[in-house]
Amino acid sequence: MEKKRFYIKNGSENIPAVLWGNPRGKLIIEVHGNLSNKEDTVISMMARQAVRTGYQALSFDLPMHGERTNPEYPCIPQNCISDLLSVYRYAKTLAPEIYLFACSMGAYFSLLAYHNLSIRKCLFLSPLVNMERLIRSMMDYFGVSEERLQIERHIELPKGAYLDWDYYCFAKNNPVPCSWNSPIKILYGLNDNITGLKEITEFGMRFNAKVDIYKHGRHYFQSDEELRVFDKWAEKNLI
């Protein structure tokens, strides 16, 4: 399979990207989740399945992920949305029909960035659909009040996680958009500890999305069986 590594410009930023396959008139933008990268397992699997089904695929590293280690350009919503828009503009130079695959927080950023753009179909794996609720859950778990976060502004947590006042305010003021014009297909694991079943069900009803639930699945699809389920789901929904 043809595979080209290159950079997409976004102002002074060079976004590491991979173009999978040859021009076909249809291109799927792939947006990874937290602690992932442009060639992670599910990203690579979706790209291979897309090429087999008649697409090109375009994946890239979000800020502070994969090849991108510049702390001056952190992984905050504003930067991620800006990168997504630059990737979309580049994708439109390659194909007239743009599709989307996004995982976890990549789905949240994509919903904000692409809600008024032309996307033919969206495939979401374990989408994060309420960033404010997730941050509040982290605050509750670690005993951090809103008042403390406002005063301290940035609080480091175990395992590289953190709480940030500006990020929290952005999430409060920027929920997922009220409208989305393209069909949405979702694969969700019933044991997801990030997004609850009620939350994903309400999102699906709100956007008339088709939600496939894998009863043994977790938020991160990593086991052999989870990946087999994901691969079959991708093949079915790319057609």
Q: What are the pLDDT digits (tens) for 124-180? A: 999 999 999 999 999 999 999 999 999 999 999 987 789 999 999 999 999 998 778
Residues 6 or more apart whose CB falls under 8 angstroms from that of 74 comprise 63, 64
Spans of all domains in the chain: 3-129+180-234, 131-174
Q: What are the pLDDT digits (tens) for 4-18? A: 999 999 999 999 999
* Residue 199 dihedral angles phi and psi, to the nearest 5°: -65, -45
Task: Reply yes or no on whether the pLDDT at 182 is more than 90.
Answer: yes
C-alpha torsion sign, points 225, 221, 90, 174:
positive
Average pLDDT, the chain: 96
Pair 59, 4: CB distance under 8 Å: no
Tell me how far apart the alpha carbons of residues 217 and 227 are, in angstroms, rounded to a whole number.
10
Tell me how far apart the alpha carbons of residues 155 and 144 are, in angstroms, rounded to a whole number.
9
> Under CATH, what is the fold of the domain 3-129+180-234?
Rossmann fold (3.40.50)
Q: What are the pLDDT digits (tens) for 23-47? A: 999 999 999 999 999 999 999 999 9
